[in-house]
Chains A and B, each alone.
Chain A
């Protein structure tokens, strides 16, 4: 009985504090800092303390949850944030599959969701539910276009593709097939592998037999290294292209000499010292500096995707505050509208200009052509 009483008193107390603190904007952040995609999630979780602390005169409180890379856990985390915490927006989750699973819950509750994930499927094709989703990464086709343009310029006629047997590799092979057909490049070999494979000899031999002018490897993170080292070991001489999935420092460390001369298109953060001055460069340099001060290492691009989500919200919150108070449905609605009207907002990854059709909002300022030279990233000239 006593327990019950004190419990209800406690509940009452917490309800009171909740009302008192209602003025602040609550943002949920769901990352995968454990489990198979921890590589992506760790730098994202680390970036949360660097996110803007206030916007439009209101403090922003971030509530961070981990989904251990499990799509079911992502859904649970979203429901918790929406039903219990009554957040105004959610940044996350880290994985494409995780993001696909939570869209309907964000849409049903009318909570804007900023997904720092690779797959364009979260915002394309635009539907009634995906209206609530914004994506802070470059769409695959934007990066692929840059690569295929470079291939065409170099006079490459045939291309081999080695991709992972997951949504990342699948989407890339679709996008590349379309662009190559338009550019008159023939796809002569398309092979698949699993991230954890300990050997890619078979796939690599198959590609070698087709002997294409260039090979594109579409794999996220460190798994992009093994196909390339295997190809080099077997004596492949042509040009090797990588996607922005490889744009991580471990790629250089693991690949060593075998990745010299690789061409990829990715975020300007890799070659921050070389790119021409731009608003994005200033913001990215500042973010990298603060991250480095706090953790003693450079952030992976994934972290910057979460940081950009924070900047988008910071930009949209003042407009939304005019329409409603944080915690209300009007505020969330207004926040969504304001996010959709984002115009020419410079952030670490490029410049965002959202439209009702395009919830990713990048143009060619969101990518740089990069190559590997003497074991480090260099701007391709």
Chain B
């Protein structure tokens, strides 16, 4: 172990850690606002990466049909509400808008020369396909049971995860995929080559984290979400819609998940079932933050990345064991130091 190796491993650990940090933040965000442990988050990562790969190889990805199908179910439910509650021009327009969006996406995917458009447009298209899935999934599977106990929510969350893995196999096939890097250049830092993709991952992650921070500190919507996280009932009394809060956090989590997938796809091979392990490591980070503290969760996730990198050098056979054993001392420490407040089991 010399300096050069330490730097290479450190670079690797920070890259993965940055992704885990993003995922840890999304898990935390969704959990605090909706009490849902977002187990399908990893699937958004793989969907993002695999959709990007499909677009780059010029295939009209079948994901667009999933979007269309879910959107149709969503709109059918909306229509039923419209009939039950009486016609409202605002709602009707909203349904039209949603359907129009899904159809537009279908047309774009079928007609654009996908492989030849600039990479930035490919990223936008991938996000455009994936991000709406988040709120729809919330609407279809979680909104009807929003006030159920955390355990029920978690079981539904697992069910959604299993379903999404299966659908992923159907949409993308069993082979792994990787995408072209954002740029090919490397930077030399002393004796060590830094890959530009590594810098991209770190830069985008930091930018996203800063954006999240600003959104939550400065904007009204962000403050509304924070209020919901602090006290759901109180926020509701102040006129903050829990449905809106749920959809907004799911959209954000989907965005972050898909973006993480797009970021790491050029560095590694991702499979339809890779997502779970990745989000599980983000989850370890979130646990280190006690599922409440954002900075602690992010720091914890980076630590997970670093430990993973160094343990695969020292003892590659035991890498996963080392990473996941990490959670035990933290759980012990947290359960000893924090005093339990059961605030949402009163319903």
- Interface of A toward B, CB cutoff 8 Å: 34-39, 42, 165, 191-203, 205-206, 209, 221-223, 225-226, 233-234, 248, 250, 254
Contact A42-B9, Cβ < 8 Å, known A196-B273, A203-B312: no
Are B313 and A202 in contact, CB atoms less than 8 angstroms apart? Answer: yes
Given contacts A34-B166, A199-B16, A199-B309, contact A222 B176 (CB under 8 A): yes
Cβ of B310 within 8 Å of any chain A Cβ, yes or no, is: yes
Beta-carbon contact of B178 and A254 below 8 Å: yes
Chain B residues within 8 Å of A199, by CB: 12, 15-16, 267-268, 308-309, 312
Scoring B residues 262 to 279 as 1 if CB is less than 8 Å from chain A, else 0, what string do you get? 001001111101100110
For B174, give its contact among A39, A196, A202 (CB under 8 Å). Answer: A39
**Are A200 and B273 in contact (CB-based, < 8 A)?**
no
Say yes or no: is B175 at the interface (Cβ < 8 Å to chain A).
yes
The answer to whether B169 has its CB under 8 Å from any CB of chain A is: yes
Distance, CA A145 to CA B195, complexed state (A): 38
Known: A38-B169, A201-B9, A202-B12. A226 touches B268 (CB 8 A): yes
> In the complex, what's the smallest C-beta–C-beta distance from B160 to chain A, in angstroms?
17
28 example contacts (A-B, Cβ-Cβ < 8 A) are as follows A35-B169, A39-B175, A165-B316, A191-B316, A194-B320, A196-B271, A196-B274, A196-B277, A198-B16, A198-B267, A198-B270, A198-B278, A199-B15, A199-B309, A201-B309, A202-B9, A202-B12, A202-B310, A202-B311, A202-B313, A202-B316, A202-B319, A221-B175, A221-B176, A223-B176, A223-B269, A233-B195, A254-B269
In the assembled complex, the Cα of A200 lies from the Cα of B309 at a distance in Å of 8
Interface, chain B (partner A; CB < 8 A): 5, 8-9, 12, 15-16, 166, 169, 173-178, 195, 264, 267-271, 273-274, 277-278, 308-314, 316-317, 319-320
Query: How distant is the Cα of A39 from the Cα of B174 in the complex, in angstroms?
Result: 5
Contact partners of A38 in chain B: CB under 8 A: 169, 174
Complex formed: what's the CA distance from A142 to B101 in Å? 56
User: Shortest CB–CB separation between residue A131 and chain B, in angstroms?
Assistant: 33
Instruction: Find out whether the CB atom of B176 lies under 8 angstroms from the CB atom of A250.
Output: yes
New contact pairs (13) apart from A225-B176, A226-B268, CB-CB < 8 Å: A35-B169, A36-B273, A37-B174, A39-B175, A198-B264, A199-B12, A202-B319, A206-B316, A209-B5, A221-B175, A222-B269, A223-B176, A254-B178
Most buried by B among A165, A198, A201, A234: A198
**Across-interface contacts of B269 in A (CB, < 8 A):** 222-223, 225-226, 254
Q: Which residue of B lies closest to A205 (CB)?
A: B5
Q: Which residue, of A35, A197, A250, has the highest number of chain B Cβ atoms within 10 A?
A: A197
Bound-complex Cα distance A34 to B312 (A): 30
Closest 5 CB pairs of A and B: A202-B313, A202-B312, A39-B174, A222-B176, A38-B174
Would B312 and A193 count as touching, CB distance under 8 A?
A: yes
A191 to B313, CA, bound (A): 9
Which of B16, B166, B177, B311 is within 8 Å of A254, CB to CB?
B177
Q: Are B317 and A202 in contact (CB under 8 A)?
A: no
Among residues of B, the one whose C-beta sits closest to the C-beta of A39 is B174
* Inter-subunit contact A193/B316 (CB<8 Å): yes
Q: Chain A residues near B311 (CB, 8 Å)?
A: 202
CA distance A340 to B264 in the complex (A): 50
Q: Assess whether B309 is in contact with A192, with CB atoms less than 8 Å apart.
A: no
State the Cβ distance, B205 to closest chain A Cβ, in Å. 15
Residue of A nearest to B317 (CB): A192
Q: Which of A192, A201, A205, A254 has the most CB of B within 10 A?
A: A201
- What's the least CB distance linking B150 to chain A, in Å? 28
Chain A residues whose CB sits within 8 angstroms of the CB of B16 once the complex forms = 198-199
Report the minimal beta-carbon distance from A70 to chain B, rounded to whole angstroms.
12
- Residues of chain B within 8 A of A254, CB atoms compared: 175-178, 269
Residues of B within 8 A of A205 (CB): 5, 8-9, 313
CB distance from B200 to the nearest CB of A (A): 15
Q: Which residues of A contact B174 (CB under 8 A)?
A: 37-39, 42
Question: Chain A nearest CB: distance from B336 CB in Å?
Answer: 32
State A11–B305 Cα separation when bound (angstroms): 60
Contacts of A193 in B (CB 8 A): 312, 316, 319
A192 to B320, CA, bound (A): 12
Residues of A within 8 A of B169 (CB): 34-35, 38
For residue A260, give the distance in angstroms from its CB to the closest CB of chain B: 17
Q: Measured between C-beta atoms, what is the minimum distance from B31 to chain A in Å?
A: 24
> Complex Cα distance A197/B319, Å?
10
- Chain B residue with Cβ nearest A209: B5
B308 / chain A contacts, CB cutoff of 8 Å: 199
In the complex, chain A residues whose CB is within 8 Å of the CB of B278: 198
A197 to B310, CA, bound (A): 14
Kindly state the separation between the CA atoms of A248 and B176 in the bound complex, as whole angstroms: 12
**Which B residues lie within 8 Å of A34 (CB)?**
166, 169
Question: Are the CB atoms of A222 and B316 closer together than 8 Å?
Answer: no
Chain A residues whose C-beta falls within 8 Å of the C-beta of B314 in the assembled complex: 202
Measured between alpha carbons, how far is A203 from B318 in the docked complex, in Å?
12
Distance of B305 from chain A, by nearest CB (Å): 9
Closest-CB distance, B162 to chain A (whole angstroms): 11
Q: Nearest Cβ in chain A — how far from B267, in angstroms?
A: 7
Q: Which of B195, B267, B319 contacts A194 (CB 8 A)?
A: B319
Output the nearest chain B residue to A165 by Cβ-Cβ distance.
B317
Residues of B close to A225: CB separation below 8 A: 176, 269
Give A42 to B15 CA distance when docked, in angstroms.
Answer: 34
Complex alpha-carbon distance, A361 and B16, angstroms: 46
Residues of B with C-beta under 8 A to A194:
319-320
List of A residues within 8 angstroms of B320 by Cβ: 194
Contacts of B8 in A (CB 8 A): 201, 205, 234
A206 contact set on B, CB distance < 8 A: 313, 316
Please, which residues of chain A bring their CB within 8 A of the CB of B175? 39, 221-222, 248, 250, 254
* Distance (whole angstroms) from the CB of B327 to the closest CB of chain A: 18
Chain A residues with CB under 8 Å of B271's CB are 195-196, 222
CB closest chain-A residue, reference B195: A233
Give the complex CA separation of A195 and B174 in angstroms: 13
Among B169, B195, B316, chain A packs the most CB atoms within 10 A around the CB of: B316
Between B267, B311, B312, B319, the greatest number of chain A beta carbons within 10 A of the residue's beta carbon is seen for: B312
CA distance A93 to B166 in the complex (A): 20
CA distance A209 to B313 in the complex (A): 11
Please give me the residue from chain B that is nearest to A201 by CB atom.
Answer: B12
A195 proximity list for chain B (CB < 8 A): 271
Contacts of B9 in A (CB 8 A): 201-202, 205
Chain B proximity of A242: nearest CB distance (Å): 15
Task: Say yes or no: B309 contacts A202, CB within 8 Å.
Answer: yes
How near does chain A come to B62, taking the closest CB pair, in angstroms? 15
Q: How far is the CB of A208 from the nearest CB of chain B, in Å?
A: 9
